[in-house]
Structure 1
Amino acid sequence: MKSVNFKKKLTRLFFVLLGVTLVYQTGRTFFLKQEWQARNCAYEMVKLLFPDAWDRACDQYGLFCFNGSEKPMQKCTGVVESGSIILIHGLDEPGLIFEPLALALHRKGYLVLFFFYPDDQRIDASSRLLFNNLSSLSLAGPVVLVGHSMGGLVARHMLVDPVIDYAGARARTKVPEISDLIMVGTPNHGAFLSRFRLFMEIREQCLLASDHRWHRLSGFIDGTGAAGIDLLPQSEFMRHLNSLPYPGDVHCHMIAGHIFPFPVNMPEQFQMTGNQTLEGLLLSEKNYFLSVLGKAGLLIGDGLVSINSSVPFNVPVTLVKGNHKTMLANCFSGSSRIPPAIPVILDILEL
């Protein structure tokens, strides 16, 4: 009898929490700007209240040189040789997703750098941090940026934002030349699922703990969630970024994941022009059922980012079979599977 009552209470609690979550997520649409400001103020307060923890965290942020082994990476200082490739992780991701790609690039002779940053803070602050790190190093030769998920937006914003003015700094040789920007699973038009970033935050803290990089304030020092608001399709950040042109002197590439077998006529590689829609690239589907499944496939995309959201205009796009994670990494460490985005990235670099 007690077991039955406990199950009823647990079920009731679940529906109460579900109802509260739905009401909050629906209502917050009307005060996103105020919530974004409050989260930024809370983050600045965390820095002031815990200066020692913030200083220790800063030692973990910046550009780190990948050494091709399991040894801890060292922070980059001074002159860095040419042919550098900088890997930029996304929201609530400690960078572990890039390990298979980093190893593949290292074996090819590329110098691989990881850019670590507070991945919950506002995106423009992360872009500024990337710019400052680039300007503090003597990077010889052209540099390639590879951004996964939100990392692609961090890189893209740094390149085109007039406040940061990367182009002006490049003309004055204050920063190195960026030859390519490769975006993998990047929500170029926003991601609705960023509303539920709490679950990704919990996952990130568990990964940090397994990598011996966690401390009791990790969940606050890396930001207080402003990036999750920036990622929403209706956010001011997304509207501002998409009002700016793509950098004309940087070769941009997009790799999008596809976990659904529909649309059946989706080309593996394509490039959209300004007056096209994604559906317009597909052959007209006479079967209504298949047409509905095709639209569902565009919506599902890699499971977190829809294909409609990831595809930017006038940028080459390559579709790969995989979800938001398995495009770049395997679910199990002992797997011999090659993540499908890795050979695509290697091909782009060899062009």
Structure 2
Amino acid sequence: MVRLFIVLLGITLLYQTGRTFVLKQEREIRNCTYGMLKQLFPDTFEKANNQYGLFYFTGSGASVQRCTGVVESGCVVLIHGLDEPGLIFEQLASELHRQGHPVLFFLYPDDQNIDASSQLLFNNLVPLSFAGPVVLVGHSMGGLVARHLLVDPGIDYARARVLGRVPEVSDLIMAGTPNHGAVLSRFRLFMEIREQYLLSVHHRWHWLSGFVDGTGAAGIDLLPQSQFMKHQNNLPFPENTNCHMIAGQIFPFPVNMPQHFQITGHQIPADLLPPESNFFLSMLDRVGLMIGDGLVSINSAVPLDVPVTLVKADHRRMLDNRFSGSLRVPPAIPVILDILEHRKQ
């Protein structure tokens, strides 16, 4: 058994190392496969498309209904991440609804390339009429979907906003977003299995579900060395939108990392730490920066010139509880509510 494990581990590492040199080609192959499957099973994909778009949170459990017509002022749009059917936002959505915010879920094929997801969000915003500015809240890859929507020249959200085709975005809140890529996206197979299980539990599973939501191009986009990540990080953050970052920390180190900070110029998070005379403790500080929330490092999450709030939680538990009925308040929720409260003032 040990030998088998070692062999499988070796094959996995060899594959992951080798694919680094052909990421662009692999992304194209995956997108082509997705296109072929759409042609082979048009009815299945058409039915699946009815599950994607913007949906009103009704305030009752996880129930939603498709959004049409006029959206009231104070709207918050929640955008989930890779291999996540949107359930992570249940507690946040309930609290926002309780405080009087119209809440929309953006559900999309979360394994397709990120720029296609941003375009889909744009396409779903256009037919609606918004009574006021909206706030975008993205968890994990959802933050990149929202950020790409606002700054990509191909989508040109700024021009569409001037023409009145889309609403003004007053705030972009990113929670656990890998702004510089996520190395662990190489091993997204385990997250895919989890997503398919959750879809089956909520009676949304189909034998083609693993392909309908994309063929894994998003996992390639999330890699630090991907073409998408290079393109994204060459673009500035939106000028007329207040941007906020919430990063998670599960390791006790770094001990002296401030809860609220912002880096500028060529700084990195390690520059914020006071000098540590003990070499061992200094190394632990740097390990803590690399571990971050367990899936996204603090180094990857923190962008330049954007206020950051650090919370003690892992990637998922910053917004969700492990067990239903728990009285624990996920630490990112009060941060988001505080940002919205300051926005009103």
Q: TM-score range by the shorter chain?
A: over 0.9
Amino acid paired to 1:238 = M
Equivalent of 2:180, from 180, 189, 197? 189
Deviation at 1:275, TM superposition (A): 2.9
Amino acid paired to 1:165 = D
Distance 1:71 1:240 in 2: 35
Equivalent of 1:101, from 64, 88, 92? 92
Write the deviation string for residues 119-151 of structure 1: whole angstroms up to 9, x where unpaired: 000000000000011111111200000000000
Amino acid paired to 2:134 = V
Distance 2:268 2:123 in 1: 37
Greater CA deviation, 266-275 or 69-78?
A: 69-78
In the TM superposition, 1:190-269 aligns within 5 A as: 190-269=181-260
SS in 1 for 2:243: strand
Distance 2:271 2:169 in 1: 32
Deviation at 1:72, TM superposition (A): 3.1
Distance 1:326 1:144 in 2: 22
Q: Which residue of 2 aligns with 1:159?
A: 150
Which sections of structure 1, spanning at least 5 residues, go unmatched? 1-9
Amino acid paired to 1:98 = F
Deviation at 1:186, TM superposition (A): 0.1
Q: Which residue of 2 aligns with 1:5?
A: none
Distance 2:206 2:61 in 1: 21
Distance 2:90 2:213 in 1: 21
Q: Which residue of 2 aligns with 1:301?
A: 292
Amino acid paired to 2:69 = G
Deviation at 1:70, TM superposition (A): 2.6
| 2:248 counterpart of 1:283 | no
Greater CA deviation, 11-20 or 254-263?
A: 11-20
Write the deviation string for residues 309-347 of structure 1: whole angstroms up to 9, x where unpaired: 000000000000000000000001121000000000000
Distance 2:38 2:68 in 1: 25
Q: Which residue of 1 aligns with 2:324?
A: 333
Amino acid paired to 1:242 = N
Distance 1:17 1:210 in 2: 30
| 2:119 counterpart of 1:128 | yes
CA contact (8 A) 2:62 2:87 kept: no
Equivalent of 2:83, from 75, 85, 92? 92
Deviation at 1:71, TM superposition (A): 6.3
SS in 2 for 1:33: helix
Equivalent of 1:64, from 45, 48, 55? 55
Distance 2:306 2:3 in 1: 49
Equivalent of 2:133, from 126, 129, 142? 142
Equivalent of 1:315, from 278, 302, 306? 306
Which sections of structure 2, spanning at least 5 residues, go unmatched? none
Distance 2:3 2:249 in 1: 37
- How well do the aligned residues superpose, as a CA RMSD in angstroms? 0.8
Amino acid paired to 1:21 = T
SS in 2 for 1:136: coil
Structure 2 length-normalised TM:
0.98
Write the deviation string for residues 43-99 of structure 1: whole angstroms up to 9, x where unpaired: 111111111110111110000000111363110011111111000000000000000
Deviation at 1:25, TM superposition (A): 0.4
Q: Which residue of 2 aligns with 1:3?
A: none
| 2:124 counterpart of 1:119 | no
Distance 2:266 2:181 in 1: 20
SS in 1 for 2:188: helix
CA contact (8 A) 2:180 2:224 kept: yes
Deviation at 1:15, TM superposition (A): 2.5
Distance verdict in 2 for CA 1:71–1:238, change over 3 Å: closer
**Stretches of 4+ moved more than 2 A in 1?**
10-16
Between the two proteins, the alignment pairs up a number of residues equal to 342
Distance 1:11 1:253 in 2: 46
CA contact (8 A) 2:61 2:90 kept: no
Write the deviation string for residues 260-311 of structure 1: whole angstroms up to 9, x where unpaired: 1111110000011113221111111111111011000000000000000000
